[in-house]
Amino acid sequence: MRFLNSAPLLLVLTGSFLGLTLPFGKLAFAAGIEPSLWAFVISTGAGAVLLAAFLIVGKRPRLDAHMVRYYIIAAFISYAVPNLMTLSAIPHLGAGYTGIMYTLSPVFTLMLSVLFKLKRPSLLGLLGILVGFIGAVIVGFTRGQVGQPAEPLWVVIGLLIPVILALGNVYRTIDWPKGADPTELAAGSHITTAIMLVPAILFITGGFPVAPLANVPWLVVAQILASTCMFALYFRLQAVGGPVYLSQIGYVGAAVALLAGTLFLGEAYGLATWLGAAVITIGVGMTTRAQLMAAKAD
C-alpha cells in the first residue's frame, strides 16, 4: 500500500489516533477506571491485535537477546512511563491541555537527535519545529481550562512527558533491530509494556480492579481500535520519517485532543490557548512541506 511510504499521511493518521487516546482516557477516568489499568488496556489490546495480525500473514516473531533488550527498554521509556504519566495528568489538566504537552516532544527529540548525530531536518523543517514550539509555549502559559487553572505540580509532570517521549523516539532509532518488521516491534513492545504494568497496577490499586471496564465496553473497544491503528502506523512512520519527524505526531494529536475535549467533553479553553494551537498548526504545515520537499529530492 502506497500510503505506508508517505510520511506526511502517516503523520496525520498516527497523530489523529494519538489524539483520540486522550479524550478516551478522560472518559475512562470518569467511569471509575484507574489510569494504570487503562494504560494496561491500551497496551494489551494493541499488542494482542498486532501480534495476531503478524501471525495471520504467515510471519513468525524473532526473539533473541537484541530483541528482548529492545522490547524492555522501548516499553519502559516509550509507553509504560509516559502513558501512566499522561493518563494520570488528564483528570488534572484536561484532555486538550495534556495533549498540547506532546507538542514539545519534537524540540527535545531534535536536541537528542543532534547529540546522537542522527538525521537532521532541513532549515524549513527546523523553522517549523521552532514555530510549533512557540505555539506550545503560548499554550503552556494559559495553564489549562477556563475557570480551572492547573496546579503547578501537574503542569511540571505534563512537561516531563515530552522529555521521556523524546528519549524513546531516539532510542528506538538507535537500537532498531536489523531487519525487524515494524508490526513485530509494535506488538512485542506493547506486550512487554502490559507485563510491566501488572506490578504497577497491583502496587497503585492494591488489586486488579477490572470491574469498571464492564460498564463501558464500547469505550474499551474504541480505545483498543484506536491504539492498535496508532501503533501499527507508529513504527512504520519512524522507519519512513525518522525520530524527529515522528515526534511531530504530538502536534496533530494535540489538535485532535483539543477539539474533542471542547466539542464532546465540555472543556473550555481561552483565546490564548486557541491562538497557540493555531501557531502549532502552522508549524506542522511547515515541517510537512519540508518532508515532502525532501522526499522529492531523494
Residue entry with cell 507508529: 234
Q: With beta carbons less than 8 A apart as the criterion, state whether 227 and 46 touch.
A: yes
pLDDT in tens, 218-268: 999 999 999 999 988 988 888 888 887 788 887 788 778 878 888 877 777
Beta bridge partners of 149: 144
Rounded Cα–Cα distance for residues 162 and 216 (Å): 29
Residue 115 has pLDDT above 90, yes or no: no
Angstrom distance (rounded) from CA 242 to CA 287: 13
Q: Residue 150: pLDDT band by 50, 70, 90 thresholds?
A: low
Mean pLDDT, to the nearest integer, of 22-35?
Answer: 91
What percent of the chain clears pLDDT 70, i.e. is strictly above it? Answer: 91
Average pLDDT over every residue of 158-177: 89
**What dihedral do alpha carbons 262, 255, 260, 6 form, nearest 10°?**
160
pLDDT for position 37: 95
| CA contacts within 13 A on the Cβ side of 274 | 9
The Cα angle at residue 101 between residues 99 and 107, in degrees rounded to 5 = 130
CA triple 29-206-188, angle to 5 deg: 70
Is pLDDT of 164 > 90?
yes
Predicted pLDDT of residue 145: 53
Cell numbers representing residue 75 in the block = 516499553
Q: Which helix (H) or strand (E) holds 7?
A: helix 7-30
Q: What is the structure's pLDDT at 254?
A: 78
pLDDT of residue 3: 57
Which has more pLDDT, 22 or 117? Answer: 22
- pLDDT the model gives residue 262: 82
The predicted pLDDT at position 177 comes to 93
Contact 253, 18 (CB under 8 A): yes
First-last CA distance in the chain? 20
Query: Is the confidence at residue 161, as pLDDT, over 70?
Result: yes
d(CA 113, CA 245): 11
Residue with cell 465540555: 266
**Mean pLDDT of all residues in the chain?**
85
Asked if 26 and 95 touch (Cβ cutoff 8 Å), the reply is yes
Mean pLDDT of 168-189: 91
Neighbours of 58 (CB within 10 A): 6
> Higher-confidence residue: 151 or 282?
282
Neighbouring-strand partners of residue 145: 148
Residue 50 has pLDDT above 90, yes or no: yes
- Measured over the CA atoms of residue 133, residue 136, residue 138 and residue 140, the dihedral's sign is negative
How open is the CA angle 47-52-58, to the nearest 5 degrees?
Answer: 135
The reported pTM is: 0.82
Higher pLDDT, 9 or 199: 199
**Contact between 24 and 219 (Cβ < 8 Å):** yes
pLDDT at 139 exceeding the cut of 90: no
pLDDT above 60 for 72:
yes
d(CA 60, CA 266): 46
Identify each DSSP E strand in the chain by its residue range: 144-145, 148-149
pLDDT digits (tens, 9 = 90+) for 279-291: 877 877 787 677 6
Confidence of residue 121 (pLDDT cuts 50, 70, 90): confident
